Amino acid sequence: MVSALHVLLWVGSLAGGGPDCSIGFLYQPAFCCDQELRGPAAPYCPQPGDIIFYTDYTIFWCVTHNYAGAGHPHHSGIIVRRPDGSLGAMEAGPYDTLHIRILDLPGHFRKYSEMGEPMWVRRRRVPLTCEQSAALTAWAMAQEGKRFALIRQGAQLTNIRCRGRWKINYVGHSDPNRCSYFCSELVTEALVAAGLIDCETARPCCTYPSDLFYGHSHNHYIDEHLDLSEWDPPARWLECPIPALGIIGVEAAPGPKER
């Protein structure tokens, strides 16, 4: 039986298309991790299940991610609905911290922008069902405050990582009750918890932000099994659009009248 909470979460997710819910703007989606703004922009109304990405151009993160074969982007998170109906961004280690947090919108997005880190969003093409949204909410709330998996993330730079070509077939399965997660592992487990990807074939601790960003991977196993066809390609987010590139749904200011 569908509970009252399920109904409220479902109604809230459908309400995401209203004009008052927009937080910033998304440019046209493309599988490109660059800083180009592909106009026109459109208001962004977040919804549970949207996947968010950031990247950092400092030397340390570029060198370590490239060495691990992860590349850009360097960080990922997911939009979730709290029990009170508000939306938040769940991330492991936001702002280089060591815990999992669900952060308020749009302040969280704005802070990354102020830090000079570009942001992208992979929007859900179809809103989550009430059951999917409720499952995502329940799992997300149970993770808040857990530790960032610093040691296991560091292991991605070594031969003991479970992402190896053959090893990944047998290890790295979903574990929804870990005491810690790194960023893309947390997002992948969240997708499993909501029933959005297959629990049996998912490999959360082997999945990188770039795998989620592009929807394919250099790792053969993840490339074969990761299906993100229900999400749009990544789109650059800005709090304020650039008028010269066009804005969908916003009329241009009238030009001077002819004499």
Size of the chain in residues: 259
Beta pairing class for 87-92 and 100-104: antiparallel
Q: What is the pLDDT of residues 132-165, one digit of tens each?
A: 999 999 999 999 999 999 988 888 878 778 887 7
Which CATH architecture best describes the domain 4-32+41-242? Alpha-Beta Complex (3.90)
pTM for the model: 0.85
Q: What is the DSSP string of 8-67?
A: HHHHHHHGGGSGGG--SEE----S--S----SPBEE----TT-EEEE---SHHHHHHHHH
Token pair, residue 62, equals 């570029």
Task: Please report, for the chain, the start and end positions of each structural domain, with discontinuous segments joined by +.
Answer: 4-32+41-242
pLDDT of residue 69: 63
Percent of the chain clearing pLDDT 70 (strictly above)? 85
19 has pLDDT over 80: no
pLDDT of residue 9: 36
Helix (H, G, I), strand (E, B) or coil at 183: helix
